[in-house]
A = this chain, B = another copy of it.
Amino acid sequence: MKTRLQDSWNAGRPGINSWISSAAPVVAEFTGKAGFDSITIDMQHGLNDYQIAVSMLQALSTSDATPMVRVPWLEPGIVMKSLDAGALGIICPMVNTKSDAERLVSWAKYAPAGSRSFGPTRAQFVYGADYPTKANDSIILLAMAETAQALENIESIVSTEGLTGIYIGPSDLALSMGYTPKLDQEEPAVVEAIGHILASCRKAGVRCGIHCLEPAYARKMLDRGFDLVTLGSDLRLYVSACADALSKTRGES
């Protein structure tokens, strides 16, 4: 099992996560050796579906980063298919209630902890014969808190048995609270909400991650105590690198 992120956490260090939107197994493979603690294949807003995710998980085989999937929605089929294909973490969007979180946990854990259907075709092949007995304890389950409703229910959500923690989606959270949807929020009300979620996680003893854009903001979040920060996405990093290189070549910067 690839447990670089879990190992970091156990050693008291936070993790830095990358985000794959590009539907490109080659890009995933190159990301796999860039030094991130985990790599998340985004099947919600990213341009990826399941079959591409399988190719990416294969391309990530030699990476030591923990491979995770953000599923498109709180739906049992894709949660289980992602795990069977080798994802060792699930980030689930729009978890607004404890009941939502419980369903996520149930679908991702084998009985008696949950109701995940047995058949880890690729996972067992690549992680070994003892995968079935290790899976329940090793797989990371992060519920996205990204609505006003989730904010309201945060205490009960974080109390969900088996949930690893919360992953904050600042754009949706802001939008839901009536503000402009964007990352690296400085809007006081949103910042406060983020702080409240983090505090609730701390109190409950669960992990808390947040999606960031700029390294400086991510750095700040780490300093504030977050367990996981994500740096934009492959496409955002690349587009920004293109603009920067073009500008320098033109002598503009």
Which residues of A are at the interface with B, using a C-beta cutoff of 8 A? 16, 18, 21-27, 29-31, 33-36, 44-52, 54-55, 58-59, 61-62, 72-73, 75-78, 80-81, 84-85, 93-94, 110-112, 115, 117-122, 125-126, 132, 146-147, 169, 171-172, 175-176, 178, 181, 215-216, 218-219, 222, 229, 231-235, 237-246, 248-251
Contacts and interface: CB of A to CB of B under 8 A. Distances in A.
B49 A119 contact: no
A81 B235 CA distance: 17
Nearest to A125: B30
Nearest to A182: B118
Contact of A45 (B27, B121, B248): B121
Copies in the complex: 6
Given A72-B80, A237-B242, A242-B34, A24 B21 contact: no
Given A85-B47, A118-B171, A118-B181, A239 B58 contact: no
B126 A21 contact: no
Contacts of A62: 61-62, 126
A26 B235 contact: yes
A251 to B, nearest CB: 6
A72 B33 CA distance: 27
A80 B49 CA distance: 13
Given A119-B44, A146-B117, A239 B30 contact: yes
